[in-house]
Amino acid sequence: MPSSHIARGVLVALCLAVPVSTAQDFAGGPFEWMGASWMLRRDNVLSAITDTNVVDVRTGEIREGVTIACWGDEIEVVDAGIELTGAQTVDGSGLWIIPGLIDLHAHVMPPSMFFPDMKPPEETLGILLDHGVTTIRALPLFSESAGAWSGRINAGLLRGPTIIPASGIFEQVPQRTSVGYGDAEVARSWVAREALLGTRWIKIYNAIDEPSLIAIADEAARHGMRICGHAEGVPPLRAAELGQATIEHTIDIPYSCLREGTEEPAYEDFYDKVTWGWKHFDEAKGEVLLQAFREHGTGWVPTLVVTDAIARVGHDGATPPDEETVAEIMDSLRAAARLAVEQHRAGGLIGLGTDFPVDGVLPGISAHRELELLVTAGGATPLEALQIATLGSATILGHDSILGAVEPGMLANLVALRANPLEDITNTRDIAFVVHEGRVHRLGDGDAGR
């Protein structure tokens, strides 16, 4: 077996030091006796998808009549004319295979006073997988929980995507959603603690000043961690210069690019804040900002579905907007979406994120709505939208060598669709089955949009 397969993914054998006398405890469960130890069953382990159509998200080419052969959790061959003997196969005829979707802004938490309607994490993780989301950057998420869920997913005991853990929110002053707060020295200690817990991303929120961000960036670099979050306390351009790897949402972008002589007003309500900045956005300043993002390798995760949901259901319990305000909110969404697509075309890093479960944003299906908004509001082609949701998001994570494409050497994270997504981006909702690290899920269960 190639050495690259020895220690990665869910298909590594799980050996348990369990006496034979406890066999009844495992009978009928996810383990089988292999003569010396209990091993995880592999009854849903993929060997190959045969005679299918592969969407090359790099070029837009559709390769027909192709077989995708996998060794464990990794794609080995993507080619036509392969003959397989004795392999476990899935018939892919009449299907289109795309890489698994990546959600860079996901909140997986138990129900709480802030999100009382949140489903239990175990259910949410399964819903994400049902909708073809095979990787999430979870923020905020307590690292202890992330490790527990990831371990169960990797062992095949829980259905869910790969979890890239981020810290809880850090700010200088406590807010209702803050997990950590304090000055620059406290921020430095917070980062070190999160590194010890295995966190890979530090999330910052609105109440952050430049000294604190400098301390966070310095300590994060020492531990090989990266920073994501809002850009209100430190504006987006300066945040990029200081090393913030991703800017989340659209609301902070226009306020750093206002036309000369424009003074930011006192807002009547949150809806006014959502729309005012884009009404006074200076496109030349916007290009300077996006160029800086490209120079510093800063990603932007616009979460267009959040703005879309604000227009539909309101925000944080407030009265839903009236018809005139809805129109203004949707104008702001279109402006942000067009800017994101322009940045993608210029070679910048744009990622897909949803921010579920904020009001009106549901896990899984919202990733497909984000794809749709990139096309309908931003003017992206279906291919460009798919690139953002796969290769772009994988590059932001720093895992584009194993995620984001259907190619040899990549993890076997695949979504099988019943219709061509390059003809209509909403075809990503018509899912036949999902493959996560070589395991087949939701075979024949129907449309993800239901």
Q: Where are the domains of the chain?
A: 3-40, 48-98+404-441, 101-397
Please determine, for residue 269, whether its predicted confidence score (pLDDT) is greater than 80: yes
Strands, E assignment, 230-320: 246-248, 299-301
Q: pLDDT by residue (tens digit) across 202-240? A: 998 888 899 999 999 999 999 999 999 999 899 999 999
What average pLDDT does the segment 19-30 reach? 39
Model confidence at 137: pLDDT above 70:
yes
For residues 56-80, give the mean pLDDT: 94
Q: How many residues does the chain have?
A: 450
Average pLDDT estimate for 361-366? 96
Residue 295 has a pLDDT of 98
Q: How confident is the model at residue 22 (pLDDT cuts 50, 70, 90)?
A: very low
pLDDT at 147 over 80: no
Name the fold adopted by 48-98+404-441: Urease, subunit C; domain 1 (2.30.40)
Burial profile 260-287: b = 16 or more Cβ within 10 angstroms, e = fewer: eeeeeeeeeeebeebbbbbebbbeebbe
pTM for the model stands at 0.88
Confidence check: pLDDT of 450 > 90: no
Query: What is the reported pLDDT for 207?
Result: 81
Burial of 231 (0-12, 13-18, 19+ CB in 10 A): buried
The DSSP bridge pattern shows strands 431-436 and 439-441 to be antiparallel
Q: Are 174 and 168 in contact (CB under 8 A)?
A: no
Q: What pLDDT, on a 0 to 100 scale, did the predictor assign at position 178?
A: 53
Categorize the per-residue pLDDT at 152 as very low, low, confident or very high, splitting at 50, 70 and 90.
confident
Cis check for the bond before 321: say yes or no (omega within 30 of 0): no
pLDDT digits (tens, 9 = 90+) for 107-136: 887 776 567 777 888 899 999 999 999 999
| Residue 26 pLDDT | 37
Cβ atoms of 310 and 259 within 8 Å: the answer is no
Residue with tokens 């203004």: 328
pLDDT tens profile 165-179 = 888 778 766 665 556
pLDDT at 20: 34
pLDDT at 157: 85
pLDDT 10s digits, 389-447: 999 999 999 999 999 999 999 999 999 999 999 999 999 999 999 999 998 987 544 44
Summarize pLDDT for 312-337 with one digit per residue, the tens.
999 876 789 999 999 999 999 999 99
Q: Which fold has domain 101-397?
A: TIM Barrel (3.20.20)
Q: Which residues pair with 137 in a beta bridge?
A: 164
Res 117: pLDDT: 74
